[in-house]
Structure 1
Amino acid sequence: MATTTDAARTIAALEARLAALEGACAARKTMARYMALCDVPSGALDGESLASLFTADAVWEGIGPQYTSKFGRIEGRDAIVAMLARYLPPAPHFATNVHFLTSESIEMVTPARASGRWIMLQASGYVDERAELIGARLEVDFVPAPDASTWLIAHFRTERLFDAPWRVSPRPAA
């Protein structure tokens, strides 16, 4: 026969599992918003901004042979958003840019932190009419927002795995 103590332990275990699932879901949503806001044209909704996805003291860094020298380590929400803005409209960089995430693994979900890994495929067309496909590994740490309604990026790491030029076919005339 189950005791009150057993029932309380079961409820506590279920609450912890639910919190972990909700944390993983919130982290996944934050990554999806980040990628949509980095797409060109943007998948942003009115009032959304990249700044709302990062903690005030967030770190964004390029790692590995190609991205350490290209991006380095950027600290603080404002510095991160300023760096990302160099690649987004109205800056003349991408004509089109689409991000795809795969091989997701969200782990270490506690009430205070979650860590996730993805493989990102980025299809980019540039304003100078070049185009390339980029593969990168992302490792991202999240923490709950102060109001606990969303989770924020605390540490974003990206490592380029490969890049390949590709040809963008012109659109047929209407």
Structure 2
Amino acid sequence: MTTTDATRTIAALEARLAALEGAAAARRTMARYMALCDVPSGALDGEALERLFTADAVWEGIGPQYTSKFGRLEGREAIVAMLARYLPPTPHFATNVHFLTSESIDMPSPTHAKGRWIMLQASGYVDERAELIGARLEVDFVPAPNASDTSEWLIAHFRTERLFDAPWRVSPRPAPLSE
């Protein structure tokens, strides 16, 4: 192997490693976002929603149900204010849990990750209603501007589209089986 070949091989490996690290960072950011939106919250010490978004982030509902419900929000403060309407101490959810599946994370460039998921949200409301919601999420991520390395990525554009919803009844805990 020539020096030129070795240099190309190292550069290709570095690019592949950067793509893997970027995708892993985007995945961690998405997991933190979902944990912070769960009720009760799955937050770790020091975590806050505003720390997950770029200053000029966009959050939008798309599709027939979410375009009118959420519209398009621009800027970290507007996004966090909207999300706060659904989270404690605001009385909205009694419990709220998010499940993500069908993950696909692409790295179109070293400074841009694009993630896609199908989300199932199981929500129990303070008025005792409950529903399951299925949504498609498309989220763009970029490296945090002040991070010392590329392990922290932020949400630059979050899109959610409701696919279905189904009411369900939360039943009391079943009695133990008798012998």
What TM-score does the superposition give when structure 2 sets the normalisation length? 0.93
Q: Tell me how far apart the structure 1 counterparts of residues 94 and 174 of structure 2 sit (CA, whole Å).
A: 17
* SS in structure 2 at match of 1:82: helix
Residue correspondence of structure 1 range 1-150 to structure 2 within 5 A: 3-146=2-145, 148-150=150-152
Q: Tell me how far apart the structure 2 counterparts of residues 125 and 164 of structure 1 sit (CA, whole Å).
A: 12
Q: Tell me how far apart the structure 2 counterparts of residues 40 and 171 of structure 1 sit (CA, whole Å).
A: 19
Cα shift at 1:46:
1.9
Q: Tell me how far apart the structure 2 counterparts of residues 90 and 172 of structure 1 sit (CA, whole Å).
A: 30
Q: Deviations over 1:5-34 (max 9, x none)?
A: 000000000000000000000000000000
Q: Percent identity between the aligned chains?
A: 90
Q: Tell me how far apart the structure 1 counterparts of residues 74 and 34 of structure 2 sit (CA, whole Å).
A: 20
Cα shift at 1:169:
1.4
Q: Tell me how far apart the structure 1 counterparts of residues 33 and 4 of structure 2 sit (CA, whole Å).
A: 43
Cα shift at 1:172:
6.5
Structure 1 runs (4+) deviating above 3 angstroms are none
Structure 1 alignment gaps of length 5 or more: none
Structure 2 alignment gaps of length 5 or more: none
What TM-score does the superposition give when structure 1 sets the normalisation length? 0.95
The question of whether the paired residues in 1 share the 8 Å contact of 2:23 and 2:107 is answered with: no
Q: Tell me how far apart the structure 2 counterparts of residues 172 and 64 of structure 1 sit (CA, whole Å).
A: 39
For the aligned residue pairs, the C-alpha RMSD in angstroms reads 1.2
Number of aligned residues: 171
Cα shift at 1:110:
2.3
Q: Tell me how far apart the structure 2 counterparts of residues 72 and 114 of structure 1 sit (CA, whole Å).
A: 23
Cα shift at 1:109:
4.3
The question of whether the paired residues in 1 share the 8 Å contact of 2:38 and 2:98 is answered with: yes
The question of whether the paired residues in 1 share the 8 Å contact of 2:21 and 2:151 is answered with: no
Q: Deviations over 1:88-108 (max 9, x none)?
A: 000000000000000000013
Q: Tell me how far apart the structure 1 counterparts of residues 108 and 26 of structure 2 sit (CA, whole Å).
A: 10
Q: Tell me how far apart the structure 2 counterparts of residues 56 and 81 of structure 1 sit (CA, whole Å).
A: 11
* SS in structure 2 at match of 1:87: coil
Q: Tell me how far apart the structure 1 counterparts of residues 71 and 174 of structure 2 sit (CA, whole Å).
A: 41
The question of whether the paired residues in 1 share the 8 Å contact of 2:115 and 2:139 is answered with: yes
The question of whether the paired residues in 1 share the 8 Å contact of 2:22 and 2:150 is answered with: no
Q: Tell me how far apart the structure 2 counterparts of residues 62 and 76 of structure 1 sit (CA, whole Å).
A: 15
Q: Which moved more, 1:110-119 or 1:58-67?
A: 110-119
Q: Tell me how far apart the structure 2 counterparts of residues 14 and 57 of structure 1 sit (CA, whole Å).
A: 32
* SS in structure 1 at match of 2:46: coil
Q: Which moved more, 1:82-91 or 1:148-157?
A: 148-157
